[in-house]
Amino acid sequence: MKLLIHILTALTIGSAAGEEEREVCTGNCVVDGLGNKECTFTSKLNFAASEWGYYYFDECGEETNPVLGIQPGVSYVFDQSDYSNWYHPLGFAYYADGAHDGVDELEPDIAPPESLTGCAEDASCPAPMYLVDGEYVGTYSNNYMVAEPTANETNFGLDDYEPLFFLPIKEWTKLGAFTVKLMISEDALPMQDIFYFCHIHQYMTGRIKILDADGAIVNEEDSPEIPYPYADPDSFDVNCGTHNITDYQLPNPMCPDKFVCDVGNKYNFKMFAGCIDAMDCHMLIGMTTGISAESELALFIHQMIPHHQNAVNMAKALHKTGKVNCLDMMSDTDDCIMQRIIIDIMAGQNHQIQVMRGILAAKSYPENDQCMLSKDEDGNTEMVTSAVNLYGPQLTLLLLGLSGLFLAVL
């Protein structure tokens, strides 16, 4: 009988100047009687943590995008069986966001940056190995705990794994557990941090610190950088479970007095109705657009993105309430049908938003073509269009400021 030693550890690392110290999460590890070590990270999504949602791992607590630590020669299991992982296949790259930014990912024929290893020559470099219902779907291996190590094999299973995440969630669930296994080879040790990310949604990357055989951090500095800050929702968005609707709470001069009528307190959901009011106002303002691009496609996208954002926020807000109770995603109870719809909206329409933004950029159309209230020297107000490449807090403040001028005229 094999002796199993359970290990759960966390290392404290020094962070960049001006940042607090953070812990490196090393997962839940098991060492068998032969000395083989395997560590597990159970992946889940916190949909309310940002516009797109962020990963968290059961073994690392509730912190989103935690810093992970991995050692060479250790097999790491990333368990994606939880339903929240649907539409969020994990990937691993040498720079933030991987292929989304056109940078190198961990693949059999891509050597770690600045590495002197010759692993690229025989396709033996570190790469994730993708499994569906316990079966490895690739042919490459550098992980003896999955399959005999290979040479000159480049199929690590991603091309079979990722497309399954586009199936309807019920069909995806039927396929069984989705897992990724990763081992960093001792002879191809990255000298910098690496990253986990979502292959379908951008801006969800997290840092992985490489540890040496003794468990010491190879690169104390957080390098390479993650080229964007993580979202920090304010209290209104946190309470609603939404993104970027705080500044659209009613009253707002560009919106009706209310969208949800006769709320009162009789159903005790005044706060939820307030969330709906704010997100509907956000959509109404967002869908007040011009035609500076002189393109039907651009107008469609400028209208559709805030429309999708509203659908996503509505789904997030309902998800936040916990009023939809589904313990089995395969069930066809009313609540489980609604739960599948909620997840589909949050994951699927967010993906469509990113695709549409990419099309606007590829065609050199403005990111949005917002109409705003303006007041001339005579005190007359009018709607003016300003095609801008910014849609967020700064534009919101401008809208609110112009709305104040409109109120003054009234």
Q: What is the pLDDT of residues 339-384, one digit of tens each?
A: 999 999 999 999 999 999 999 999 999 998 988 766 567 766 666 6
DSSP 163: G
pLDDT value of residue 263? 81
Pairing of strands 194-198, 206-210: antiparallel
pLDDT value of residue 270? 87
pLDDT value of residue 372? 74
Higher pLDDT, 387 or 311: 311
Cα 198 off chain centre by: 6
Domain ranges of the chain: 5-210, 235-409
Q: Cβ(134)–Cβ(121) under 8 Å?
A: no
Which tens digit of pLDDT belongs to each residue from 34-82? 889 999 999 999 999 999 999 999 999 999 999 999 999 999 999 999 9
Residue 1's pLDDT band (cuts 50, 70, 90)? very low
**Residue 238 Cα distances to 65, 241, 245, 305, angstroms:** 17, 5, 10, 22
Residue recorded with tokens 């600045």: 114
Residue 398 has pLDDT above 90, yes or no: no
pLDDT value of residue 375? 59
Measured in residues, the chain has a length of 410
pLDDT value of residue 324? 96
Residue 305 has pLDDT above 90, yes or no: yes
Pairing of strands 68-70, 206-210: parallel
What residues contact 211, with CB distance under 8 A and at least 6 apart? 11, 24, 26, 69, 70, 71, 72, 217, 218
Residue 21 has pLDDT above 70, yes or no: no
Q: Report the distance separating Cα 397 and Cα 126, nearest Å.
A: 47
pLDDT value of residue 114? 85
Which tens digit of pLDDT belongs to each residue from 328-337? 999 999 999 9
Q: Please state, for a pLDDT cut of 70, what percent of the chain lies above it.
A: 85
Residue 161 has pLDDT above 60, yes or no: yes
**Widest Cα–Cα separation across the chain:** 89
- State phi, psi for 297 to the nearest 5 degrees: -65, -45
pLDDT value of residue 408? 38
pLDDT averaged over every residue in the chain? 88
Q: Please state, for a pLDDT cut of 90, what percent of the chain lies above it.
A: 76
Phi-psi domain of 25 (left: phi exceeds 0; alpha: psi -120 through 50; beta: other): beta
Could you tell me the two tokens for 133? 């219902």
pLDDT value of residue 393? 38
Could you tell me the two tokens for 21? 């110290």
Residue 159 has pLDDT above 90, yes or no: yes
Phi-psi domain of 193 (left: phi exceeds 0; alpha: psi -120 through 50; beta: other): beta
pLDDT value of residue 273? 94
End-to-end CA distance of the chain: 82
Exposure string for 299-331, b = 16+ CB within 10 A, e = fewer: bebbbebbebbbbbbbbbbbbbeeebebeebee
Which tens digit of pLDDT belongs to each residue from 231-241? 999 999 999 99
Most confident of the following: 12-16, 205-209, 212-216, 400-404: 205-209
Which tens digit of pLDDT belongs to each residue from 81-103? 999 999 999 999 999 999 999 99
Q: Is the full-model pTM beyond 0.85? A: yes
Burial class (CB in 10 A: 0-12, 13-18, 19+), 371: middle
Q: Which of 276, 359, 357 is nearest to 321 (CA)?
A: 276
The residue type of 342 is I
**Residue 6 Cα distances to 61, 165, 312, 332, angstroms:** 18, 32, 40, 38
